[in-house]
Amino acid sequence: MLPNLTLNSDDRQVANSIRLVLGNVGNFFAVTFILPFANFLGGSNHQKGWSLAVGVYAIVAFVFLIIAFFDMREKNIENDKIITIKESFRAARGNWPWILIVLANLIYWTAYMTRSSTLAYYFQYNMHNENYISLFNGFSIIQVLGMASVPLFVKFLRKWGTTVFMLVLTCLGQAIMGFSGNNLTGLLIGWCIACIGSGSACTMFFAMVGDTVDFGEWKNGIRANGFLTAIGASFCIQVGSGFGSFIPAEVLKAFGFQSGATSQSTNAMNGISFSFLWLPIIIYIFSVLLMIVYRKWEMHEPVVIADLEKRHTV
């Protein structure tokens, strides 16, 4: 959608940040208040309460979607030609910015899911307090602060620099948690820093996919919005999440983790700690390296945009 709304990369960056901030805030309130809302509507009848609550949520979501799209127009459309799958692949040929973003984003989601999939194990077996799971998940809403500040950082660090900075910030937060041991305060501080960094990096990847659509049109003459953004966003999320679940599962298996056990061996708890705290850092580093390489292509963006604007005015 974003590449169709405007050719201006800064406008896409701001729109993407707003989308993710409001999406996270909406999700936080929806998840937080669904239980009391269901109890209010259904009373002692829990099934009725949940059905009514979900129904109200669905109606509200539908109304908001209608409002959002009612006055929206895709301004950045030069022709009505339908892009075939074959042509979409041609738009990806030689599109190195897109290839780098896809790889970096896939690695990002692998690291993100590695942390998420082992969070419950860490607090259940290593911290011996499952109540911390909901506490830390609740604190993850702080990532909206980073998402909202992304356009400001981009002005000073550019897009590749902002992404690298946020990924390094995520690694710093993970390291703080790793050195905090069983200190809850230290763990929360590290968690908040890591969430701000990872949430902001996520925002950057979604926005930069739109820039690769511009490059594909400039290089190959084909503007494959749907294909390039689908692979750069949804595909990376799904495949990265799969890798992020598989990799820590194999690591835990190697450390002797027993699923469903009331307690774990010392070796297994070391595996949990490594998978939750340190393994994401290792994976994130590869994403950082790819974004450093991406710098070369971002420096070329003004030429790309200028040429496209000339073509569109002809």
What is d(CA 122, CA 154) in angstroms, rounded to the nearest whole number? 35
Number of domains in the chain: 2
Tell me, yes or no, whether 141 and 241 share the same domain.
yes
Output the furthest CA–CA distance in the chain (Å, rounded). Answer: 70
What does the alpha-carbon distance between residue 314 and residue 308 come to, in Å, rounded to a whole number? Answer: 10
Residue at 264 is within a domain: yes
Helix and strand element counts for the chain (H, E): 13, 0
Let me know: does 308 contact 8? Beta carbons within 8 Å. no
Same domain, 112 and 160: yes
Identify the CA nearest to 33 among candidates 60, 65, 68: 60
**What are the angstrom distances between the C-alpha of 49 and each of 27, 41, 45, 236?**
19, 5, 6, 36
Residues 51 and 199 both lie in one domain = no
CB 155 within 8 A of CB 24: no
Q: How many CB atoms lie within 10 A of CB 184?
A: 13
Tell which of 72, 94, 119 closes a domain.
Answer: 72
Question: Domain for residue 11, yes or no?
Answer: no
Is the domain of 28 the same as that of 177? Answer: no
Of 53, 72, 91, which residue is a domain's last? Answer: 72
Q: Does residue 305 lie within any of the structural domains?
A: yes
| Coil/strand/helix, residue 259 | coil
Question: Would you give per-residue pLDDT tens digits along the chain (314 residues)?
Answer: 566 566 666 677 677 677 778 777 777 777 777 878 888 888 888 888 889 989 998 998 899 889 877 876 665 555 556 777 777 888 788 899 999 999 999 999 999 999 999 999 999 999 999 889 888 988 888 998 888 888 889 989 999 999 999 999 999 999 999 999 999 999 999 999 999 999 999 989 988 888 888 888 888 888 888 888 889 888 999 999 999 999 999 999 999 999 888 889 999 999 999 999 999 999 999 999 999 999 999 898 888 888 888 887 76
Looking at the fold, whether 90 and 54 belong to one and the same domain comes out as no
Give me the CATH number covering residue 151.
Answer: 1.20.1250.20
Domain membership flag for residue 4 = no
Give the C-alpha separation, 29 to 146, whole Å.
19
Backbone angles phi, psi at 221, to 5 degrees: 75, 15
Which residue is listed with tokens 């925002």?
203
Domain coverage including residue 304 = 83-313
Same domain, 142 and 193: yes
Indicate whether 131 and 32 sit together in one domain: no
Q: Which long-range contacts (CB under 8 A, 24 or more apart) does 261-269 make?
A: 263/125, 264/125, 268/125, 269/125, 269/126
